[in-house]
Amino acid sequence: MNKKSITKTKLSKEEITKITQEAFGRDVELKNITELTDGFFNTAYMIGLKDGEQTVLKVGPREDVQVMRYEKNLMETEVFALNKMHRIEGFPVPKVLYYDKSRNIIDNQFFFMEFVEGTSLDKISEELSEKEYNSISSELGKITNKINSIESDYFGYISQENKRFSSWAEAFLNMIKELLNDASEIGIFLPIKDDKLYNLISAQKYLLNKVKTSVLVHKDLWAGNIFVDPKSAEITGIVDWERALFGDGLLDIVCGFLLDNKNFIQSYLGRDSLTEDEEIRCILYKIYLYLIMIIESDYRKYQEQKITNWARSELDKTVNDLKMKT
């Protein structure tokens, strides 16, 4: 996919130098600046300092850029989640080094974090042996359990306090409603009418209400956000936490495209398959994921539509699956 997005802000060398010195001191000298182009929402730079240290700078969108409702204050969410997970000894997550949400220095929120060694799993998966890939999948299952071990007294968004709820059903149905409102607001055509889709999902409220414990969910555990040491085939970092929320841990299976990964499922659940209730909840979460993939394309002004078209087709299939299951 073309990763040019209106949410990405390009900074000049002078701006990067200014905020790096603000974070680390006026005496800090920059050796090199490299834009990291893999992300889809924030702008990221790898910065080499003259003392040999490396750090990653993430820059959020300008305040005047129209984003989807759930995307507001995402940088605050990411910093919260990174700090929370960094407190778990040995958890593979970069440390936040500096965070500025004031927009006083530049027109964007930004933060610096440790540089993660390794290569993203999506770039080296074909080079791995079956044994190595299975081992990584099992390790990821254990890591996801650690993420989901962080509990909360509310369900919903981390950095939007007015969108926190006492039940998962309320939170999730609000998430769906907001996506449908996002689509309607800019005239996005969906394969199924808004009210029909919402009512179809709302009918499963009783299943959503079976989720009694609210846990931290990364919500973007696809292979591009999993960093691996190519030599040892061990996970070195879990990145891009901006979509994190408190809810049902099964979201991590769906949004990480891990439903068909048997080694992950066994490691994560401690069994080989989902229960019938879990299967239906995962169908609901697939609908949610495909809605995001369809809608964000228009908000970000992506040129490439291949993934969006795929998501439209999958949404149609998944809605039919839900009708058949229920």
Sorted by sequence, the CB contacts under 8 Å of residue 171 that are 6+ apart come out as 155, 156, 163, 164, 165, 245, 247
Sorted by sequence, the CB contacts under 8 Å of residue 173 that are 6+ apart come out as 198, 201, 202, 205, 208
pLDDT per residue rounded down to tens, the chain (326 residues):
435 677 888 999 999 999 999 999 999 999 999 999 877 788 999 999 988 899 999 999 988 889 999 999 999 999 999 999 999 999 999 999 999 999 988 999 999 999 999 999 999 999 999 999 999 999 999 999 999 999 999 999 999 999 999 999 999 999 999 999 999 999 998 888 889 999 999 999 999 999 999 999 999 999 999 999 999 999 999 999 999 999 999 999 999 999 999 999 999 999 999 999 999 999 999 999 999 999 998 898 877 788 899 999 999 999 999 999 88
CATH architecture of 119-325: Alpha-Beta Complex (3.90)
Cα gap 164→288, rounded to integer Å = 18
Domain ranges in the chain are 13-114, 119-325
**13-114 belongs to CATH 3.30.200.20:** yes
